[in-house]
Amino acid sequence: MRNTHPIAYLLILPFYLFLFFFILLPIGINLFLSFTDYDLIQWKYVGLKNYRYLFQDSHFHISLRNTTLYAVFTVGFSMVLGLGAALLLKGNPPGIRVYRVSFYIPYIASMVAASMIWLWIYDPLDGIANKILNLFGIPSKQWLYDSRYALSCIIVMSVWKVLGYNMIVFLTGLQAIPSYL
C-alpha cells in the first residue's frame, strides 16, 4: 500500500470545501425548504404538500414533457450529427481546417450572440427561415410565437450551438484509433 503525503490532503481541501459550500449545502437547504412553507421570516413544516401541489399542476406536466423532449432530442441529434461531422472531417483534404473552425465557432460564441442570430433567422417578417419558405410558395410562420414550432426551433439552435464541441470530441477519439485497426 502506498503512503499518501499529508500535504496531498491539504491540496485537495479547497475542492472539497467548494463542493460542500457551493453544491452539497445548497442542495440540502433546498431539499429541506421543499418540505416547508417558507417566506423569509418564518417557516412551517408542511410535509409533502408542496410536492402534491407540484404534481397536480398541469403546467408542471407540460414543463416536464418539454424539458424531456428538449433533452432527448438535443443530446441525441447533437451526438449523431457530431459523430457524422467528425467522420466527414476525419481525413486531411485541402481546406479541412476551415471546415473544422466553422463547425466550432458556434460553440465558442456566447449564448447571447447565438440567440440573437437565431432570433434574426426566425424573425416572422424578415427572417431567413421565412424567406426560404416564401421562395417555395409556403406562407411565413411565427416560429418562436407558435407553440407548434417553438420547441423545435430551440432544439435546432441548441444542436447548432454544441455540434462543434461534439464533433471535436469525436474527431479526437477517431484520430486516436490506430490506422491498422
pLDDT tens, residue by residue, 27-70: 999 999 999 999 888 989 999 999 999 999 999 999 999 999 99
Q: Residue 38: what are its φ and ψ, rounded to 5°?
A: -120, 130
Question: What span, in angstroms and rounded, lies between the C-alpha atoms of 113 and 105?
Answer: 11
Q: How far is CA 166 from the centre of its chain?
A: 12
Model confidence band, residue 91 (pLDDT cutoffs 50, 70, 90): confident
Q: Is the pLDDT of residue 150 over 80?
A: yes
Model confidence band, residue 176 (pLDDT cutoffs 50, 70, 90): confident
> Model pTM?
0.80
Mean residue pLDDT across the chain? 92
Q: Which three cell numbers stand for residue 81?
A: 450529427
- pLDDT of amino acid 59: 96
Question: What span, in angstroms and rounded, lies between the C-alpha atoms of 165 and 78?
Answer: 9
User: Which among 161, 141, 163, 159 is positioned nearest to 150, based on CA atoms?
Assistant: 141
pLDDT tens, residue by residue, 152-168: 999 999 999 999 999 99
Q: Is the pLDDT of residue 1 over 70?
A: no
Asked whether the beta carbons of 142 and 136 are under 8 A apart, the reply is: no
Q: Is the pLDDT of residue 113 over 90?
A: yes
- pLDDT of amino acid 66: 97
Q: Is the pLDDT of residue 4 over 80?
A: no
- pLDDT of amino acid 92: 78
DSSP string, 47-87: TTHHHHHHHH-HHHHHHHHHHHHHHHHHHHHHHHHHHHHHH
DSSP string, 1-45: -PPPPHHHHHHHHHHHHHHIIIIIHHHHHHHHHTTEEE-SS-EEE
